[in-house]
Amino acid sequence: MLHGRKLVTPGVKEQQRAELHKTIWQIASDLRGSYIATQREKELAKIISAENLKSKETGRFLDGAFCTTGTATTKVLPAVSRFSKDKNHSA
């Protein structure tokens, strides 16, 4: 210390400021990611309930949604007759 002041190496304060800035942005990014994931789960739960989808199967389908081929969609949807007038699947 010199006359009650700390000796600061030039550039150290800027480096500390840059590190703090980086840390703050990382924390904000983590919080945003957490919030988005939480909101996604809430919204998906509402959709699954409203559309009467099977929860586990829908979750599995969404986990591989962009790499799924074949008839995976039929495992998610509730069973319905294609010819039932009550389900509006017939003319």
Dump pLDDT digits (tens) for 58-79.
888 887 776 656 676 677 777 7
Where does the pLDDT of residue 1 fall: very low under 50, low under 70, confident under 90, or very high at 90 and above?
A: very low
pTM, entire model: 0.48
* β-sheet bridge partners, residue 2: 5
Where does the pLDDT of residue 91 fall: very low under 50, low under 70, confident under 90, or very high at 90 and above?
A: very low
Alpha carbon distance 15, 59 (integer Å)? 45
pLDDT tens by residue, 3-30: 556 655 667 788 888 999 999 999 999 9
* Structure-model confidence comparison of residues 71 and 35, the more confident one: 35
In degrees, rounded to 5, the angle at the alpha carbon of residue 49 between the alpha carbons of residues 44 and 52 is: 120
The H-or-E segment that residue 74 falls in is helix 72-76
Give 84's Cβ-side CA count (13 Å radius).
Answer: 6
What per-residue confidence (pLDDT) applies to 70?
A: 67
